[in-house]
Amino acid sequence: MKTLYLASFLEPENFGPGRVIGIANGQKPLHIDVQVVFKHLVPPSDLIKRYRNISLKGEKKEASKMFVKEYSMMLNKFEKDVKEDAKKQGKEPVDILPFEDGDTLASWEREKFTNYRKLISPVLKRLGFNVILK
């Protein structure tokens, strides 16, 4: 079974032994070799912008609910599409996704803070990966 790590760019001690794959928009740390960005798991820029705008109005709970709802819908579609593609190819989902054992999917938020990696983890588990969430 392939193991994937979900971690923050700011906490490289939580990275796995494989490649670092970005799951965030924007610049990446210069001191970390981010080999690729997996856009299918990156929250859309407009969703991030709406989240920030609502949060800046002091409505953090509403912003969070909106983000979780819309990002979860995106993840559910991703999961469904991967499973359908795998079935058409006669393969398992882990065999059609570009992840290797030990790769780290990284975003910016530190482990102890709210982060969307927690939403990604169960999706990847249902697709057949062993996930280490940091």
Return mean pLDDT, the chain.
95
With cut-offs at 50, 70 and 90, classify the pLDDT of residue 53: very high
Residues 71, 73, 75, 78: is their CA dihedral positive or negative?
A: negative
Percent of the chain exceeding pLDDT 90 equals: 90
pLDDT for the residue numbered 26: 87
Q: Is the pTM of this model over 0.75?
A: yes
C-alpha 134/C-alpha 129 separation (Å) is 15
Of 90, 103, 91, 111, the closest CA to residue 129 belongs to 103
pLDDT of 13 above 90: yes
Structure tokens given for 109: 């938020």
Domain locations in the chain?
A: 3-133
The predicted structure's pLDDT at residue 85: 98
Answer for the pair 133, 123: CB distance below 8 angstroms, yes or no: no
Specify the pLDDT at position 8: 96
Q: Is the pLDDT of residue 79 over 90?
A: yes
Q: Which pLDDT value is given to residue 111? A: 83
Portion of the chain with pLDDT greater than 70, in percent:
100
